[in-house]
């Protein structure tokens, strides 16, 4: 039987991919790549870019192009069969990656190319960067360890691969395992019509009467923001913050406690094998920040600047709840609810008021118009492209000369068997292969936004629109690259603490009046966002920004300290570390049963381990970059072109600081972030 994973060229044949085809395809490619490496090493030819590096780049690219749809489908249409196939491949891929990283002959070949200065200097900046990155990766893969330590390092990488996947599976299963079936409509008091209709639609899909509320974010957030019934809010809150833990209604069922302990211990051991003092140091080896101390100082300084404002925000919230709603006991499950009430009280606006003005039918084309004004690119929908779900759309990007620059899949709505959150991932990267053929970059843009209800288009909150713009910023970084070498084209090879710059940067246009004219239009009347609503929305822009800032700092500090301060004899001390950080920076006291960390997939299952600070680090970069547009005009074509050419098109081909200085004319400054957040320097 032919295997579509091995025979496709171009876009993946999603509808033809079956779980039983996954493992044979990966086995075949790994076997092919191993033989190819052996052949290259045993060749008598002197290693060069063309006869060595480019050949390996092409082989790795093919492996990535096959693994990409498998990994993606595991996240967006998860099933037991696909999960088993995916998990069967993880240790094989991990073993292969470590094996290549520890191959001394491979290292010598790359090293010889670097040392031949005459030939090395003939290479482009991007080619040199790929070779330099590869040499660092050999060090980070333990190529120079003694054999016993090499084996231990390889075993650790395999175990970590399994554990991080298990962690994510536990979160997904715990999210799916709990729901609240409501038949008494008094519980619905306070909820907006859209949330009630969504819960009814969810119940009908399960052949239930009444309403069904789940831990998918649109459902959970609606209850936390608007449900008048405090007990209902508590029930939802407790279930959400105890997912995959030893607490709450499903306690112990999908418990991540032991998984987390083991992940932290193994990360620390692997870092020490490589000669680092801790895993935080190992993580920073490929980032802009230089030491864990520098990161902690950066986060603490921001905390010092924003803590007083956060305290003031929280006091105002408690005073309001007490004075206007006679709420004497203030608990975490009250915070979002009374925040929405206070926002409405102060600014006569809430997320629901804005929803009718943000229908999908205006937001998507409007977003494309925004980037057209910035970068002169045209985005059009392409029908008939094979995908993994009927709700997925496909688009292509062309530049002013009509050249195809990129393509992307857009999967917008929350649904069962799809992991939570929002992300951009690469389906394939831009490259020019050894035979001269070009590969166009293709991205997956995935969100969990409010789905359409009945015959209405999907209506988004302004927060959801901001999330969409954020992910689209990542997508543009990946798709608009002009680098021809896969290792540093698009998002590849970009330092992790700079990779959020293009995404956070895009969020700014969600607050600009001229951009909002393009992305809003009432779903019934077509009227763009009225001036009075815009004024209220803008006035509320920095509502509780102090509280939001310290929440991000809490997560960043917890992550970096967890990885920097680990002591094997004491264990990971996960709860203790989080409690100590909260004591210092948090203003909303967490419930004793809160086990947020058991669902913190960013650091336990994603790429943000000892790197969550990147969000705040990149906020400084993105705020300062946007300040240049504020100075010159938010749709100033020259400034847009500068950003396109210096940041988006360059990918990971140069150090991020070099690229930032090329765009801004100087190093980043923190003032723009503090100003945008309403926090005085």
Catalogue the active-site residues: 471
**How many other β-carbons are positioned within 10 Å of the β-carbon of residue 436?**
6
Q: How many of the other CB atoms lie within 10 Å of CB of 136? A: 11
Query: Is residue 335 a contact partner of residue 313, using CB atoms and an 8 Å limit?
Result: no
Decide: 167 and 601 in contact? Cβ < 8 Å: yes
d(CA 172, CA 82): 14
Residue 99: Cβ within 10 Å count: 17
d(CA 281, CA 264): 14
Closest by CA to 422, choosing from 467, 478, 364, is 467
Beta-ladder partners of 413: 449
Question: CA-CA distance, 677 to 681, in Å (whole number)?
Answer: 10
Q: How far apart are CA 572 and CA 268, in angstroms?
A: 10
**Cα distance between residue 680 and residue 434, in whole Å:** 54
Say if residues 479 and 408 touch (Cβ distance below 8 Å). Answer: yes
Q: What angle do CA 83, 85, 86 make, to 5 degrees?
A: 65
Q: How many CB atoms lie within 10 A of CB 454?
A: 7
> Measured between alpha carbons, how far is 193 from 195 in angstroms, rounded to an integer?
6
Contacts of 412 (CB under 8 A, 6+ apart): 360, 391, 447, 449, 451, 458, 468
- What residues contact residue 531 under an 8 Å CB cut-off, 6+ apart? none
Report yes or no: 629 and 639 within 8 Å, Cβ to Cβ.
yes
Sequence-ordered list of residues with C-beta below 8 angstroms from that of 83, at least 6 positions apart, any chain: 74, 169
CB 488 within 8 A of CB 652: yes
Based on the number of CB atoms within 10 Å of its own CB, is 466 exposed (0-12), middle (13-18) or buried (19 or more)? middle
Contact 247, 595 (CB under 8 A): yes
Nearby residues of 4 by Cβ (< 8 Å), 6 or more positions away = 13, 16, 17, 21
SS (H, E, C) 569-608: CCECCHHHHHHHHHHHHCCCCCCCCCCHHHHCHHHHCCCC
| CA–CA distance, 475 with 477 (Å, rounded to integer) | 5
φ, ψ of residue 380 in degrees (nearest 5): -130, 150
Let me know: does 655 contact 608? Beta carbons within 8 Å: no
CA distance 80 to 395: 30
Strands, sheet with 404-413, edge to edge from the N-terminal-most edge strand: 378-381, 393-398, 404-413, 442-449, 423-428
Dist CA 393 CA 409 (whole Å)? 6
């Amino acid at each position: 039987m032919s295997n579509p994973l091995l025979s496709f060229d171009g876009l993946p044949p999603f509808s033809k991919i079956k779980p039983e085809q996954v493992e044979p395809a990966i086995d075949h490619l790994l076997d092919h790549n191993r033989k190819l490496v052996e052949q290259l090493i045993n060749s008598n030819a002197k290693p060069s870019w063309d006869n060595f590096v480019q050949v390996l780049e092409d082989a790795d690219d093919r492996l990535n192009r096959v693994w990409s749809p498998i990994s993606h489908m595991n996240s967006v249409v998860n099933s037991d069969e696909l999960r088993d196939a995916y998990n069967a491949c993880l240790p094989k891929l991990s073993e292969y990656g470590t094996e290549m990283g520890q191959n001394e002959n491979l290292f010598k070949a790359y090293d010889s190319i670097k040392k031949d200065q005459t030939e090395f200097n003939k290479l482009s900046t991007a080619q040199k960067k790929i070779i330099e990155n590869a040499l660092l990766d050999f060090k980070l893969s333990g190529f120079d360890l003694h054999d016993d330590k090499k084996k231990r390092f390889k075993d650790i990488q395999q175990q970590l691969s399994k554990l991080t996947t298990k962690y994510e599976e536990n979160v997904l299963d715990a999210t799916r395992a709990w729901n609240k079936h409501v038949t008494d409509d008094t519980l619905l008091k306070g909820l907006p019509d859209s949330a009630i209709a969504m819960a009814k639609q969810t119940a009908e899909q399960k052949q239930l009467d009444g309403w069904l509320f789940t831990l998918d974010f649109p459902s959970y957030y609606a209850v936390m923001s608007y449900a008048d019934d405090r007990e209902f809010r508590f029930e939802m809150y407790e279930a959400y913050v105890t997912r995959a833990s030893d607490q709450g209604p499903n306690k112990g069922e999908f418990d991540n406690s032991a998984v987390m302990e083991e992940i932290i211990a193994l990360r620390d051991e692997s870092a020490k094998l490589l000669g680092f003092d801790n895993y935080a140091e190992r993580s920073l080896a490929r980032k802009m920040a230089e030491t864990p101390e520098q990161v902690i100082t950066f986060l603490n300084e921001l905390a010092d600047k924003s803590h007083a404002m956060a305290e003031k925000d929280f006091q105002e919230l408690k005073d309001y709840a007490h004075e206007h709603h006679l709420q004497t006991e203030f608990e975490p499950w009250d915070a979002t609810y009374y925040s929405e009430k206070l926002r409405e009280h102060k600014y006569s606006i809430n997320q629901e008021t804005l929803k009718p003005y943000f229908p999908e039918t205006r937001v998507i084309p409007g977003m494309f118009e925004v980037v057209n004004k910035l970068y002169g690119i045209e985005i059009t929908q392409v029908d008939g492209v094979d995908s993994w779900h009927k709700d997925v759309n496909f688009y292509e990007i062309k530049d002013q000369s009509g050249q195809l620059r990129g393509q992307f899949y857009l999967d917008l709505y929350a649904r069962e068997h799809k992991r939570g959150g929002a992300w951009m991932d690469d389906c394939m990267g831009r490259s020019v292969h050894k035979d001269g053929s070009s590969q166009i970059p293709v991205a997956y843009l995935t969100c969990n936004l409010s789905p359409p209800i009945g015959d209405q288009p999907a209506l988004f909150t302004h927060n959801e629109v901001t999330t969409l713009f954020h992910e689209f910023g990542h997508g543009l970084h990946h798709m608009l690259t002009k680098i021809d070498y896969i290792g540093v084209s698009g998002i590849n090879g970009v330092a992790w603490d700079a990779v959020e710059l293009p995404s956070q940067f895009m969020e700014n246009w969600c607050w600009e009046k001229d951009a909002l004219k393009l992305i809003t239009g009432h779903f019934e009347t077509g009227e763009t966002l009225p001036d009075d609503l815009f004024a209220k929305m803008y006035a509320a822009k920095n509502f509780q920004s102090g509280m939001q800032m310290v929440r991000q700092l809490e997560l960043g500090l917890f992550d970096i300290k967890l990885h920097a301060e680990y002591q094997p004899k004491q264990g990971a001390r996960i709860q203790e570390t989080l409690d100590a950080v909260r004591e210092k920076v948090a203003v909303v006291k967490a419930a004793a049963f809160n086990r947020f960390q058991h669902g913190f997939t960013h650091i336990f299952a994603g790429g943000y381990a000892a790197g969550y600070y990147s969000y705040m680090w990149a906020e400084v970069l993105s705020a300062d970059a946007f300040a240049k547009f504020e100075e010159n005009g938010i749709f100033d074509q020259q400034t847009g072109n500068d950003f396109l050419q210096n940041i988006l098109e360059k990918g990971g081909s140069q150090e991020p600081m070099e690229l930032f200085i090329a765009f801004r004319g100087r190093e980043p400054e923190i003032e723009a972030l503090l100003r945008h957040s309403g926090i005085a320097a």
